[in-house]
Structure 1
Amino acid sequence: MSKVLALLIDHVEKHSLGWINGADAGYQCFADDPSKVRKPDVSFIRGERLSVADEPSGHCTIAPDLAVEVVSPNDEFSRVSTKVHEYLDAGVSLVWVVDPVGEEVLVYRQAGTRAFLTGKDYLDGEDVVPGFRCRIGDLFKPPVGIETE
């Protein structure tokens, strides 16, 4: 989802927090299958965990701090759920599952807690992306100048 990526890029760059990528970044950091690669729609690694010299030329071998999966119409819940558990097992601190159809976000934390956010709720970067906060409803607003039916 380009809106989540754009908002995170703006915040992360403005505050020099770390390294953020779209779906082109692959992660090969899964202990159960070292050859497994996952490409979240959006990912973030805190700056103190990755120096410029460490930026991967291939797949990243450390887990991101944040992984965002955007549910597409052809995604099955079980497949998305499997990815969430793989990310958490690999050490990802925070996973956001964004559902554009339902206009909701499911938040999964490494600590095992979850949150279901809609409309007027706020998506918070917590201690993973400090200072990031966005109203859920704003994630799903059409771009300025685009009319909806």
Structure 2
Amino acid sequence: MDAFILKLTENTRFNDDELFEFCSANKELRIERDDEGNLIIMSPSGSNTGRINLKILAQFSNWVYENETLGEGFDSSSGFLLPDGSMRAPDAAWVSKSKWGQLSQVEKDKFAPITPDFIIELKSPSDSFTTLKKKMEEWIANGVQLGWLIDPELKKAFIYKPSQPVKEVDSFDFFLDGENVLPGFQLDLSKLT
């Protein structure tokens, strides 16, 4: 099972501030909200998934630090309020400096009401591939410019961009390229084994 969905009626749904308070009071849980206001409570990833995610974050954070004038990077504990009303927390995200600079300090301290320019979702063995593909499509529909879904078990990656078909990478013998969204960033998939 990849997640437990708590369906809420319209009268019991959390507004953005209530959701932030609920998540803050339950830090041991990984919680997201879908576009219908339902809470998605996900299990922690297995140790191997966490090990691989750290390898991804190491490469990503190196690029973020070397290019700090371009934007800000975020890990999996960062939630974003999206235009469709959902709150999602990708495994890694990046927001351009200009977009981040438009937020107030209060907005930055809670779930930022902003769509990242770039996200990474890492599939764990307990995740449903169908659910993750739908989530990636939602990221793109909400304004993400480049998204990577990485499946270490099958050694595949899927590249999502607006108005383009999903590109599948069938081997970890390649680099994923940040293109014009993350200029100069390349994720070495061979390091994820």
TM-score scaled by length of structure 2: 0.66
Corresponding residue number in structure 2 for 1:133: 186
Partners of 2:152 and 2:173 lie apart in 1 by: 15
Corresponding residue number in structure 2 for 1:145: none
The equivalent position to 2:95 in structure 1, one of 25, 45, 53, is 45
In structure 1, the residue corresponding to 2:109 is in which secondary structure? Answer: coil
Per-residue deviation at 1:63?
A: 0.4
Q: Call closer, same or farther: CA 1:85–1:53 in 2, change over 3 Å.
A: closer
The equivalent position to 2:135 in structure 1, one of 83, 104, 109, is 83
Per-residue deviation at 1:115?
A: 1.8
Correspondence 1:14 to 2:70:
no
Partners of 1:53 and 1:90 lie apart in 2 by: 18
In structure 2, the residue corresponding to 1:69 is in which secondary structure? Answer: strand
Letter in 1 for 2:130: S
Q: Call closer, same or farther: CA 1:38–1:52 in 2, change over 3 Å.
A: same
Per-residue deviation at 1:53?
A: 6.0
Contact between 1:23 and 1:40, CA under 8 Å: does it hold in 2?
yes
Corresponding residue number in structure 2 for 1:119: 172
Structure 2 residues not aligned, in runs of 5+:
1-52
Partners of 1:87 and 1:23 lie apart in 2 by: 15
Structure 1 residues not aligned, in runs of 5+:
142-149
Q: Percent identity?
A: 26
Letter in 2 for 1:22: D
